[in-house]
Amino acid sequence: MKQFTSVHDVQDIAALVNEALELKQSPYAHKALGQDKTLGLIFMNPSLRTRLSTQKAGLNLGMNVMVMNLDKEGWALETQDGVIMDGSTVEHIREAAAVMGQYCDIIGIRSFPKLQDREEDYSEDLLRKFIELTGVPVVSLESATRHPLQSLADLITIKEQTAAGKRPKVVLSWAPHIKPIPHCVANSFAEWMQQADVELVITNPKGYDLADEFTQGAQVLHNQDEALQGADFVYVKNWSSYEQYGKVLTNGEGWMITNEKLALTNNAKVMHCLPVRRGLELSHEVLDGPNSLVIEQANNRLYAAQAVLKRMLEAN
């Protein structure tokens, strides 16, 4: 595997999920693979799970790991080509990324969308430049439009919790929030679930439909109660509007998943990528109750990252 930026970079998704589950059984079985190899993790935005799980994944494979919060610790980065740098930016991505490529065998990069200009965010300019300029395999640690390591961990979790031969109903349910949140997790989840053996239903208020390129084929319902009927998994996530790009259109009253809402489902397991705002996105009772998978889901981030890094080490 040369890059991991979306589901489209994976040839055999089921095999990758199985590989992650094998790594979960014996995480240290491939320590020799990463010997004398360096993983560089670059963050332009905050992170807890992605940072720690990907770091640990590299260490489990015997790699050296370097982490840098480039937004806080690096020089102010210029990403536009051809500009005269007589303002606040100090270093151009052309040099910065090329230099990081000299020190690392694999690079992970996190860069959120700005949620100002839809075309700019959906062009994935920074991620594409990183891939081109570093010259080494690149793993997306959440880009402007996707969060593929999260989605792989989500699929691993669903597979683990589903009886063999059953095709579960998975509902991606929009949740309330107070500020504009990226579409990445929801886009990516929709994209991965379309490739998996599940029935995907998406439910969100009017004005919050995700981009067609990610939801194509999936049923989208604006009535949450209808969507929740018979669900085996409810994936809770907020996102800002795609149509009125980056805007918060409603306070989403009545959209939080509670025990009352869960009663409409097939005793569904509840998922969230975290961080979660308790009492706003998801109720305390559900998060603390027996149906919540959020901690196991976060645990699986480690094996998702380890499976991807293993594939990259094997290919190079």
Binding stretches for ligand SN0 (CB under 6 A): 179, 181-182, 184-185, 273, 275, 277
Please state the closest distance from residue 93 (CB atom) to ligand SN0, in A: 22
CA–CA gap between residue 159 and residue 192 (Å, rounded): 13
3-class secondary-structure state, position 83: coil
Q: Which one, 43 or 136, has the nearer CB to ligand SN0?
A: 43
Closest CA to 297 of 311, 276, 312, 313: 276
Is 284 known to sit in a ligand binding site? no
Please state the closest distance from residue 301 (CB atom) to ligand SN0, in A: 10
Is 249 known to sit in a ligand binding site? no
Please state the closest distance from residue 238 (CB atom) to ligand SN0, in A: 7
CA end-to-end span of the chain: 8
CA–CA gap between residue 127 and residue 235 (Å, rounded): 26
Is 177 known to sit in a ligand binding site? yes
Is 31 known to sit in a ligand binding site? no
Please state the closest distance from residue 159 (CB atom) to ligand SN0, in A: 21
CA 281 to chain centre: 18
- The β-bridge relationship of strands 169-174 and 233-237 is parallel
Q: Which one, 60 or 238, has the nearer CB to ligand SN0?
A: 238
CA 90 to chain centre: 30
Q: Which one, 188 or 265, has the nearer CB to ligand SN0?
A: 188
Please state the closest distance from residue 307 (CB atom) to ligand SN0, in A: 19
Is 269 known to sit in a ligand binding site? no
In the complex, which residue's CB is closest to ligand SN0? 182
Is 311 known to sit in a ligand binding site? no
Is 75 known to sit in a ligand binding site? yes
Please state the closest distance from residue 4 (CB atom) to ligand SN0, in A: 16
Q: Which one, 273 or 308, has the nearer CB to ligand SN0?
A: 273
Please state the closest distance from residue 236 (CB atom) to ligand SN0, in A: 11
Q: Which one, 151 or 265, has the nearer CB to ligand SN0?
A: 151
Environment class of residue 21 by beta-carbon count within 10 Å: exposed (0-12), middle (13-18) or buried (19+)? middle
Q: Which one, 52 or 264, has the nearer CB to ligand SN0?
A: 52
Q: Which residues pair with 179 in a beta bridge?
A: none
Q: Which one, 231 or 273, has the nearer CB to ligand SN0?
A: 273
Closest CA to 240 of 176, 151, 150, 147: 176
Is 116 known to sit in a ligand binding site? no
3-class secondary-structure state, position 167: coil
Task: Detail the DSSP E strand segments found in 48-180.
Answer: 64-69, 77-78, 91-92, 106-110, 138-140, 169-174
The sign one gets for the Cα dihedral 282, 287, 291, 292 is: positive
Question: How far is CA 33 from each of CA 13, 198, 315, rounded to the nearest angstrom?
Answer: 22, 34, 11
Q: Which two structure tokens, joined as six digits, stand for 126? A: 């920074």
Is 47 known to sit in a ligand binding site? yes
CA–CA gap between residue 270 and residue 171 (Å, rounded): 10
User: How is residue 265 annotated by DSSP?
Assistant: S
Residue list, annotated binding site for N(2)-succinyl-L-ornithine: 142, 177, 237, 277
Residue list, annotated binding site: 47-50, 75, 110, 142, 147-150, 177, 237, 273-274, 277, 301
Residue list, annotated binding site for carbamoyl phosphate: 47-50, 75, 110, 147-150, 273-274, 301
